[in-house]
Amino acid sequence: MLTVENLTVKYGHIEAVKGISFEVREGEIVSLLGPNGAGKTSTLAALMKLVAPQSGAITLAGEDISGRGTAQIVQRGMTLSPEGRRVFPRLSVEKNLLLGGMVLKDWRNPTVLERMYSRFPILAERRNQLAGTLSGGEQQMLAIARALMASPKVLLLDEPSLGIAPKIVAENFELICQLRDDGLTILLVEQNVFQSLSISDRAYVLENGKIVASGHSEEMLESDLVRHSYLGIADPTRAA
């Protein structure tokens, strides 16, 4: 569904993403893991053309979208729920949602809006409330729902558990699984390594802008290389 080849992202003289290649197959959840500063968010931003990659080919559902702008990428079926949620705080919940689909011809279609309210009942209750007055967990739900308003084939999720309560984190991960079960393809960036791998089909590990490990999630959970060297997870068998 999504193929990325030789993607490079630079900020001035700093190379944040160094020629990485990966794929996300239809109906998968694929996690992109690694420490802070590894290039994960820069990768997602480049896929959505929020930053201009220096090089690389991006194919979405068989179409080369490398030369497309952000609005065209959304129209062709890929959206982003960004790190930090980035809702529009002075707009209502409903206006935030409508903005998520406004590049589509039928962006005012009430059916899509009601589908979001059915999936996120708390947003239906808060539809006229300013987004900035929502809790962190509610804002995260709004950010995901806004990304879904364009009916994407591929959803990019950047740190959906960041800064929210553990109970809401668990609910959000359940939601991600439900979306996958409904046929959505998901590329997930998440610091919560164990929880990410527990719901992912496969994973890639980024370090200093390069992919240093990849494989099925079960293999990654058991890999000493990934656990100790790349993710900094202590070996529980070692004495304190």
User: CA–CA separation, 9 vs 11, rounded Å?
Assistant: 7
Higher-confidence residue of 237 and 114: namely: 114
CA distances from 4 to 8, 59, 187 (A): 10, 7, 12
- Would you identify the CATH topology of the domain 2-85+152-230? Rossmann fold (3.40.50)
Q: How far apart are the first and last CA of the chain?
A: 44
**52 has pLDDT over 50:** yes
Q: pLDDT digits over 69-93, tens only?
A: 999 999 999 999 998 889 999 999 9
CA-based radius of gyration for the chain: 18
Q: Give me the residue spans of the domains in the chain.
A: 2-85+152-230
Average pLDDT for 33-51: 93
